[in-house]
Amino acid sequence: MVLRLCSLFVGTLLFFTFSFTSSLKQYPLQSSLLRIDIDGTSICLEPFSYRELGNGRIEIDPRWVSENIIEVDVGISLPLPGGGSISKIKVHKKVASYFIKAFKIIKENNLLNKIKTFDGTFNPRHMNWDPSKPLSFHSWGIAIDLNASENPLGGPASDANKELWEKAFKPAGFRWLGPVYDPMHFELPAKFVTSCYETITTASILVMDVSGSMSWPWHGGIKIESAKKAALQYIEHVANEPRPAGATHYIGVVTFSDSASVACPLTSDYAEAKKTVISLGTLASTNLGAGLDTALQELGKLPAGSKKFIILLSDGMTNTGKSRESILQTSVAEARRQGICIHTVGFGDPGDIDEDFLKKIAIQSGCGSYNYASSGFELFTTYVKVRHATLGSNRIVEYKTTTPAYLFPGESITLGAFQLTAPAQELHYTVAWSGPVVLQAKLVDPQGRVVDARYPNSVIYSGNGFSHVTVFSPTPGIWRAAATVKSAVMKPAEYYGVASARTGGYVIPYIPPPCLVQVDNTCVIPMPDLPTVVVVAIGITVWIWWLYNQFIK
C-alpha cells in the first residue's frame, strides 16, 4: 500500500511538473513584425509565437490572441457559407475601427445584398493554406474574405466584389487582391518590417488632483508633496531614458480642482516640466471631468499616429462639474475613440477614494488600468509600471517587496528572471527604492554577461530613487534581474523592479525547470526532459529499490 501511494504521489507530481514545463515549449516559431501605413498613420502589430498544425494551419500562442484579437459588432447580419449569419467578427484590436468604417459605408450605400457569404477574418494559417508560403494576414486579423464561392483564387472577380471594393473597402483604407489574383480577399495595407521606429512621437499627461484634500497629512507626509515628488521622479526617468534617433516623448501636466488648467503644455523640455510640478499647490473641489477634457484637448495638438496616454491621479471623489455617467459617456468615450489609454491611480485612504469609478474610467478607455498607491513610493512605481506597459508590448515582469528589508552594503539582490521571447528593438529594466539607500540596477544576459558600462548597445542611468538599464537589440533568452546595494550603511528599504521589451519579442516570467542536483543556487544536473511515463517508472523503481534496502535486504 505504501509503495502504491508513494508511486502515485511521485507520478502525479512529475506529471504536473512536466506538463507545465512542456507548455513553455508549445510555440517554438515566431512571426514577423507587421506595420500598416494608412491615412498618414503607422500601426505596428506585434509578432506572435506559434506552432504548425499541418495542412497550412497554425496555432498562435493564446496569450497573444487574448491580448490582441477582439470581437466587434459591424452592425449588419453577415450570411455564413453553411447557413445562418453573424454580426460580430474577430479582428485585431488596433484596426477594428477600419472594419467598422467599411461596414458602415456598406450599410449607408445599400450594399448589403452584395454580400452573399462572409468567409472569415481572423484565421491563423499560411497563404492559400500552403505551408511553404508566408503567413496570411488573416493570422493577424487584418483581412476579410467575402463571396468566396463566386471569387475563386486566380479570378475572375464577381461584379459584387468589384462594387464592394470601389464603394466601401477602398474608401475605408483597405487594398484588394482582385480582380485576378485573390478577388475574395480584402486586407489592410501591411508589410513585414524589422522595426517600427521611423519616427516616433509619444506623449503622457499627468492629470493631478490639487483639491483641498491633497493638502492633508498622510503616511508621514503631505499628499500633494508626495505626489509632486513622484511626478518629479517620473519626469527624470523619462528625460534620461535613451530612445532611438527621431523618437520624442512629450510630457504635460494638467491640474484640476474647481476647474482644470494646463499647468505645463506638452513639452520635451523636461526641466520646464519639473519647474511646473514644483510650483503646484492645492485649491478647493474635485472636478475630475474637467481634468480629463483638458488633457484630451492638449493631446489633440499632436499629429495623428502619436502614441498618447493619460495618468490620472485622484485622492477623492468628483463633486463638481460633470456627473460620473457623463464623464464616462463623453470624456472617456472620446479617449477610447482616439485610442488614448487612461490609467487611473487612487492615492489616499481607500474609503475616501471613488475606486469603482476610477476603475470604470480605466476599463472603459479600452486600454487603461487602475492602480492603488498606498504611499509616495508606490505612486512613483505605478508611474514607472504604466510607462513600461504602455510603451512596451503591454507585457511586463514585476518584482516587489511586501515589507521593508534590511539591505547590506555591497549586497547583490536577486529579483528573479524573465524570458525575452524573440528579438526586440529595446529591453528596459528599472529598479526603484524607498528609504535611505541607493541601488544599482543589474541585468545578466542569456550568456551570463553582466550589463555594465562596457556592454555593447546599452545605457545605464541612476537617478533620484531609481536606476534604469536599456539594452538595444537584446538577445532573446533568459535574462536575470538583480540590483546591487551602493549604500555605505545597512538600512531597511522597499524596492521594486520591472522589465519590458519594445517592438518585437516580449518578456514573460521565467520559472526554472526542475533540477535533480543544485549547488550554490546553480543547477548542476537538470531534471531530464523525458516522457512522463518514463519519469514515473524511474520514480517507482527508486522507491522499490529504497524499500528493498530498508526492509528486505
Q: Please write down the HEC assignment for all residues of 428-443.
A: EEEEEECCCCCEEEEE
The CATH number assigned to the domain holding 121 equals: 3.30.1380
The CATH number assigned to the domain holding 243 equals: 3.40.50.410
| CA separation for the pair 483, 443 (Å, rounded) | 8
- Mean pLDDT of the chain, nearest integer: 87
Residue-number span of the structural domain to which 424 is assigned: 393-511
| pLDDT for 181 beyond 90 | no
Are 407 and 437 a contacting pair, CB within 8 Å? Answer: yes
**pLDDT in the model for residue 175:** 94
CB-side exposure of 259: number of CA atoms within 13 Å?
3
> End of a domain among 144, 177, 193?
193
3-state secondary structure of 403: coil
The CATH number assigned to the domain holding 455 equals: 2.60.120.380
Global pTM value: 0.62
Going from the C-alpha of 368 to that of each of 8, 66, 94, 311, 350, the distances in angstroms are: 46, 16, 15, 9, 20
φ, ψ for residue 429, nearest 5 deg: -145, 125
| CA separation for the pair 505, 485 (Å, rounded) | 30
Overall average pLDDT of the 492-508 stretch: 90
129: left (phi over 0), alpha (psi -120 to 50) or beta: left
Q: How many CB atoms lie within 10 A of CB 120?
A: 18
**pLDDT in the model for residue 242:** 83
Same structural domain, 418 and 535: no
Same structural domain, 321 and 380: yes
| pLDDT for 404 beyond 50 | yes
Nearest to 251 by CA among 240, 233, 235, 237: 235
Reported as a single tens digit per residue, the pLDDT across 120-132 is: 999 999 999 999 8
Are 51 and 58 a contacting pair, CB within 8 Å? Answer: yes
Provide CB contacts within 8 A for 506, sequence distance 6+.
46, 392, 393, 395, 420, 421, 422, 424, 500
| pLDDT for 545 beyond 80 | no
Same structural domain, 473 and 547: no
Which is more confidently placed, 310 or 545? 310
**pLDDT in the model for residue 457:** 85
Going from the C-alpha of 145 to that of each of 38, 275, 485, the distances in angstroms are: 20, 55, 58
Question: Could you say which DSSP state residue 25 is in?
Answer: T
Same structural domain, 384 and 477: no
Overall average pLDDT of the 350-372 stretch: 93
**pLDDT in the model for residue 41:** 65
| CA separation for the pair 181, 161 (Å, rounded) | 13
Overall average pLDDT of the 308-334 stretch: 93
Which is more confidently placed, 361 or 517? 361
| Burial call 533-552: b when 16+ CB within 10 Å, e when fewer | eebbeebbeebeeeeeeeee
> End of a domain among 145, 164, 193?
193
Same structural domain, 60 and 172: yes
Query: In the structure, what pLDDT confidence band is assigned to residue 147 with cuts at 50, 70 and 90?
Result: very high
Percent residues over pLDDT 70 in the chain: 88
**pLDDT in the model for residue 515:** 66
Query: In the structure, what pLDDT confidence band is assigned to residue 199 with cuts at 50, 70 and 90?
Result: low
Query: In the structure, what pLDDT confidence band is assigned to residue 21 with cuts at 50, 70 and 90?
Result: very low
Same structural domain, 62 and 182: yes
Overall average pLDDT of the 46-66 stretch: 93
| pLDDT for 1 beyond 70 | no
Same structural domain, 397 and 492: yes
Reported as a single tens digit per residue, the pLDDT across 219-249 is: 878 999 999 999 999 999 999 988 766 678 9
Same structural domain, 447 and 399: yes
φ, ψ for residue 58, nearest 5 deg: -135, 160
| pLDDT for 91 beyond 90 | yes
Same structural domain, 242 and 345: yes
| pLDDT for 7 beyond 60 | no
| pLDDT for 453 beyond 50 | yes
End-to-end alpha carbon distance in the chain? 19
| CA separation for the pair 155, 131 (Å, rounded) | 22
Same structural domain, 287 and 415: no
Question: Could you say which DSSP state residue 39 is in?
Answer: T
Residue with cell 503607422: 42
**pLDDT in the model for residue 227:** 95
Going from the C-alpha of 259 to that of each of 249, 283, 309, 408, the distances in angstroms are: 27, 10, 21, 48
Are 445 and 475 a contacting pair, CB within 8 Å? Answer: yes
3-state secondary structure of 257: coil
Overall average pLDDT of the 303-324 stretch: 89
| CA separation for the pair 417, 406 (Å, rounded) | 22
**pLDDT in the model for residue 111:** 95
| CA separation for the pair 550, 548 (Å, rounded) | 6
- The sign one gets for the Cα dihedral 131, 134, 140, 141 is negative
Reported as a single tens digit per residue, the pLDDT across 419-435 is: 998 888 889 999 999 98
Going from the C-alpha of 48 to that of each of 349, 436, 529, the distances in angstroms are: 41, 43, 25
Reported as a single tens digit per residue, the pLDDT across 209-226 is: 999 999 999 887 899 999
Q: How many CB atoms lie within 10 A of CB 457?
A: 13
The total of structural domains in the chain comes to: 4
Same structural domain, 462 and 491: yes
> End of a domain among 372, 391, 410?
391
Amino acid at 483: A
Reported as a single tens digit per residue, the pLDDT across 31-44 is: 888 888 876 666 88
Residue with cell 511515463: 533
3-state secondary structure of 92: strand
Same structural domain, 546 and 471: no
